Amino acid sequence: MTVKIGITGGIGSGKSVVSRLLEVMGIPVYISDGETKQLMMTDSCIRSELTALLGEEVYAGGVLNKSLLASYLFGSPGHAGQINGIVHPRVKEDFRQWVCQRAACRMAGIESAILIEAGFADEVDVVVMVYAPEEIRVQRAMKRDASSRELIEKRIRSQMGDEEKRKLADFVIVNDGETPLIPQVLGLITFLSQNNTYLCPPKK
C-alpha cells in the first residue's frame, strides 16, 4: 500500500524544495499547481463547465483566457468557490489515478499550497507542513517572483495562517535557512517507513 504524503505551506515556505528532495530520494511527487493548469486546458469536463459559466471567450483561440478567469475569480467572494467546485474534483480524480499508476511505490507525495483548504487532506495519509518565518517567506517570494512586498504580503494574508495550518499538520519541516533540511526529510521518510502498516492498514 502506498503511503500518500501531503506537502503544504504558504508562499515562500519552500515546499517545492522539500518536494524536490523527496523526488531525489525516490519518492514521486504530484505538483498540483502545474497539474491543475494542465487539466484546465485538457480536461473536457473542466472546459465545458468553465465555458458554461464564463462563456466561449474563456477558451478563446483554444487557450485558457487567464485574465478573464482571474477577473471573475476576484470579482466576488463566492466566485472562487464556483471555480474550485469545477476544478478540484477533477484534480482529486487525476491524483488518485496518478497514485494508482505508482502502486509499486512505497510512498508518493502531493504538493499543494491549499492542500487543507481544498479538502485534499482527505486524499493523503499524512500532512506535512513546510514552515518558514514570515519575513523569510516575503523575501524569498519577492526575489522569486520579482514582485513587490505589498503584493506578496497580500497573498500571504489570503492564505490560511501558519498557526492554524500547523495545528492541522501531522509533521512540520522547518525551512528557515538555518535548520538543515535533509535530516528532517530523512527523519520523515524513516518514520513513515517504520509506520507503513499503521498508516495504511490492509483493506478488509
Domain spans, the chain: 1-28+105-195, 37-101
Say if residue 10 carries a ligand binding annotation. no
Is 127 labelled a binding residue?
Answer: no
Q: Is the pLDDT of residue 75 over 90?
A: no
Residue 201 has what pLDDT? 47
Q: At 41, is the secondary structure helix, strand, or coil? A: helix
Q: Which grid coordinates belong to 185?
A: 526529510
Closest CA to 88 of 150, 149, 28, 36: 36
Class of the 1-28+105-195 domain?
Answer: alpha beta
pLDDT per position as a tens digit, 87-145: 999 999 999 999 999 999 999 999 999 999 888 999 999 999 999 999 999 999 999 98
Residue 120, pLDDT score = 92
Position 194 pLDDT exceeds 50:
yes
Can you tell me the mean pLDDT for 49-76?
Answer: 92
Residue 203 predicted with pLDDT over 80:
no
Residue 9 grid coordinates: 505551506
What pLDDT shows up at residue 167? 92
Q: How far, CA to CA in Å, does 10 sit from each of 54, 60, 137, 186, 202?
A: 29, 32, 8, 22, 34
pLDDT digits (tens, 9 = 90+) for 17-60: 999 999 999 999 999 999 999 999 999 999 999 999 999 999 98
Was 148 annotated as part of a binding site? no
Decide if pLDDT at 84 tops 80.
yes
> Grid coordinates representing 1?
500500500
% of the chain at pLDDT higher than 90:
76
**What percentage of the chain exceeds 70 in pLDDT?**
96
Q: pLDDT digits over 139-177, tens only?
A: 999 999 888 999 889 888 888 888 899 999 999 999 999
d(CA 118, CA 123): 11
Residue 10 · residue 155 · CB < 8 Å: no
Q: Report whether 187 belongs to an annotated binding site.
A: no
pLDDT, average across residues 61-77: 89
Residue 197's H or E segment, with its range, is: helix 196-199
Is residue 17 a known part of a binding site? yes
Is the pLDDT at 11 greater than 80, yes or no? yes
Q: Is 12 exposed, middle or buried (0-12, 13-18, 19+ CB in 10 A)?
A: buried
Cβ atoms of 188 and 171 closer than 8 Å: yes
| pLDDT at res. 196 | 65
Average pLDDT, the chain: 91
At residue 140, φ and ψ (nearest 5 deg) are: -60, -50
pLDDT of residue 74: 80
The per-residue pLDDT for 197 is 56
**pTM for this one?**
0.88
The helix (H) or strand (E) run that includes residue 141 is: helix 134-145
Distances from the Cα of 202 to the Cαs of 3, 16, 99, 100, 121, in angstroms?
Answer: 12, 31, 17, 16, 20
- Sequence-separated contacts (24+) of 82-90 with Cβ below 8 Å: 82/53, 83/50, 83/53, 84/118, 86/46, 86/49, 86/50, 86/53, 87/36, 87/39, 87/40, 87/46, 88/118, 88/119, 88/120, 90/39, 90/43, 90/45, 90/46
How far is 99 from 154, CA to CA, in rounded Å?
A: 34
